[in-house]
Amino acid sequence: MTIRTRFAPSPTGYLHIGGARTALYSWLFARRHEGRFILRIEDTDLERSTPESVAAILEGMAFLNLDYDEGPFYQTQRFDRYREVLSELVAQGHAYYCTCTKAELEERRAAQIARKEKPRYDRRCREAHHGPSADAVVRFKNPLDGQVLVDDAVKGRVVFRNDELDDLIIARSDGTPTYNFTVVVDDMDMEITHVIRGDDHLNNTPRQINMLRALDAKPPAYAHIPMILGEDGARLSKRHGAVSVMQYRDEGYLPEALINYLVRLGWSNGDQEIFTREEMVALFDIKDVHAGAAAINPKKLLWLNQHYIKTLPRTAIAERLRPYLVERGADLAAGPGIEDVVDALRERAKTLVEMAEQALFFYRHEVAVTDPKNQATLAAAPHDALTALVAAFVALPTWTPEAVHAAFEQIAANSGLTFGKLAQPVRIAVTGTSVSPPIDVTCVLLGRDRSIARLKSAIALAFQEGKP
């Protein structure tokens, strides 16, 4: 048997990290078993589904490199198929037309609540043999007795009594099919063998199994994974920070870090924290997913992101850093190669946004010292030493970190200064800030001409006539 899993988001918003984790688990399960991973867009909610949301989902999948073998399939392109199966269910006596009005249903519901009964449809039209009409909906004729056993790979065995289940609506009065019905037809037609989804769908499972059996189709195996919680244990929401995959990208997180983080939100392999994609595929088993909900830990994600910034090939980091620099107005032609900048900054940047901000001075024609503390540091710096350093820079036969470092040491020694006392005002002068890679590396990447020009400009501003 070929394993076939699916990810089936509704395009009513962005790709949430909870959905991304579901997609990842489905993708990993299919890849481990050399199966097929299908992407299905469940867009039958015509009022809320938007092309922008579809694009956001596809963009998020591409960012995480969760490639699919089939699809994307769109439910709105399968309405003829749904009508065909609907007619089949009615003809075989597994579904019926219901003419109860909304007001009648609400009145009966209120009466049930008053009698302290579970509110649900009373099956009044179940044996009425109504035909199709403008106001009629179609309901599935759920079995009245027996049980549905769900051997869930995460939750364990869950038992549902059929007499507790409603005759749910499977087609609205305008003919449009409902979620639970379209899912059944799609899973059947696409020969889905394993459904991995959020545990908020667990209560839908017995109804879907009953419909599949009515269609003489074998139900897939199910695995319902817990939701992701915020740090405070509450349901994850925007108040906890980023929840959209693309928002994490915009904040400078790498897909490798986000994937590594998501796989550990509910699954583990001993104490291992870092996983290559190949290791995930080899080790992941849906049966090892924890039944309890996992809470986000932004510090761990940041730690993972820094790990990948440090360890991925510099070409990969440079390629991803480029758009963040361009977005911030960097003139890439005016500065050093991005790969060299990555080497200089990768030990200190936790995100690509941080790295881009730290790198901007390399790609600007001029920098300004705006922080009062930095201005004070420059003003207190030894004028003669800075002037001597400029002359030493001009005279250097080679412009390498070693040569620049030697010049700093020589001028500092001649001036009775420590290396740091000379390096810090120079750092402020050439970068505009008090933090940068080692000063010799910084100056070499910046280039001799720009280093000298910025140092001269800072000297002129800090040491006006009459000042020491």
Which residues are annotated as catalytic? Answer: 238
| Main-chain phi, psi angles of 131, to 5 degrees | -100, 175
Letter for the amino acid at 7?
Answer: F
- Measured distance CA(64)–CA(256) in Å, rounded: 8
CB 162 within 8 A of CB 169: no
| Distance separating alpha carbons of residues 237 and 217, to the nearest angstrom | 38
Q: Is residue 130 a contact partner of residue 96, using CB atoms and an 8 Å limit? A: yes
Residues 6+ away with beta carbon under 8 Å from 66:
7, 20, 23, 24, 27, 37
E strands, 87-214, in order = 95-98, 137-140, 147-152, 156-161, 169-171, 194-198
Helix (H) or strand (E) holding 331: none
Residue 103 tokens read as 């007001």
Q: Say if strands 228-229 and 294-295 run parallel, antiparallel, or are unpaired.
A: parallel
DSSP 346-393: TTT-SSHHHHHHHHGGGG-S------HHHHHHHHTS-HHHHHHHHHHH
Q: How many helices (H) and strands (E) does the chain have?
A: 19, 12
Instruction: Confirm if 179 and 169 have CB atoms less than 8 A apart.
Output: no
